[in-house]
Amino acid sequence: MTTWIVSDLHLCAQRPAVTQAFLHWLHAEVATAEALYILGDFVEVWVGDDILMDTAYGAEFVPIVQALRRLSDQGVRLFFMHGNRDFLIGEAFAKACGMQILPDPTLLMLGEKRMLLTHGDALCTDDVAYQQFRAQVRDPQWQQAFLAQPLQARRAFAEQARSQSAQTKATQTMAIMDVNAEAVATLLRAYDYPDILLHGHTHRPAKHTARVDGHDYERWVLGDWHETAQVARIDQADMRLTTLTLR
Ligand SMILES: [Mn+2]
């Protein structure tokens, strides 16, 4: 049985073709799979699970929730890890989808190998401004206060954060927005040198091999979902990056 690991779908109403392709892929491939891991940035923006109840803004998510729920009911195990776009996805949304929320990072066994899964944004430590923003919005007290605001105010905040992030991306060098080697080393040390580190976020799909403190490791990077998507497919203990065609 197959296990799929994906990230960075950035599902949103402005890109209905990607949502359609995702729904089709769930039906065609994931329905017969053992498990699906979504490693963050599943949706482009999420300002609270109550958006599902909002007739204007919640409608686009209804078919997604229904499709995931159907798979979960059929016995496919669904896991979700927060990204920097959807860190406010909560238990209500996860429960509606039949997904289990995983902490970031999470260890997974791949045969005999230990694999550490993470979204990846925490590794981009060269982007100091982003790490400050991250520390703020990942704080439970900040989240509680934010979620207490009216939906309109939360949407306005998210829109502003998004345009700010787009501006930053346009001016920053590519190196600043990639993972920092020392941050990777620190994470691997903390988890006693897993064989594989797998993440998304940077939208630079690749398989790197490297060494830290005398331990060889592989760093697998998933891609984002546009015309195509680079995802990880596991059959038994064999993992490979594979490209899904979305159109
Ligand atoms: Mn991300």
Going by C-alpha positions, the residue among 73, 74, 91, 69 that lies closest to residue 82 is 91
Q: 152 C-alpha to center of ligand 1: Å?
A: 24
Q: 86 C-alpha to center of ligand 1: Å?
A: 9
Q: What pLDDT score does 24 carry? A: 97
Q: 173 C-alpha to center of ligand 1: Å?
A: 17
Determine how many CB atoms are found less than 10 A away from the CB of residue 241.
17
Q: What pLDDT score does 141 carry? A: 97
Positions of the chain with pLDDT under 70? none
- Is 164 in a helix, a strand, or coil? helix
Answer for the pair 64, 22: CB distance below 8 angstroms, yes or no.
yes
List the shell of residues around ion ligand 1, using CB closer than 5 Å. 41, 83-84, 201
Q: What pLDDT score does 44 carry? A: 95
Q: What pLDDT score does 170 carry? A: 77
Sign of CA dihedral 105, 121, 136, 158: negative
Query: Residue 209 pairs with which residues in a beta bridge?
Result: 218
Q: What's the pLDDT tens digit per position in 98-138?
A: 999 999 999 999 999 999 999 999 999 999 999 999 999 99
Q: What's the pLDDT tens digit per position in 166-180?
A: 887 777 777 778 999
Q: 39 C-alpha to center of ligand 1: Å?
A: 9
Q: 93 C-alpha to center of ligand 1: Å?
A: 19
DSSP state, 90? -
Answer for the pair 19, 51: CB distance below 8 angstroms, yes or no.
no
Q: Taking the domains of the chain in order of start, what are their residue ranges?
A: 2-245
Q: Domain 2-245: give its CATH code.
A: 3.60.21.10
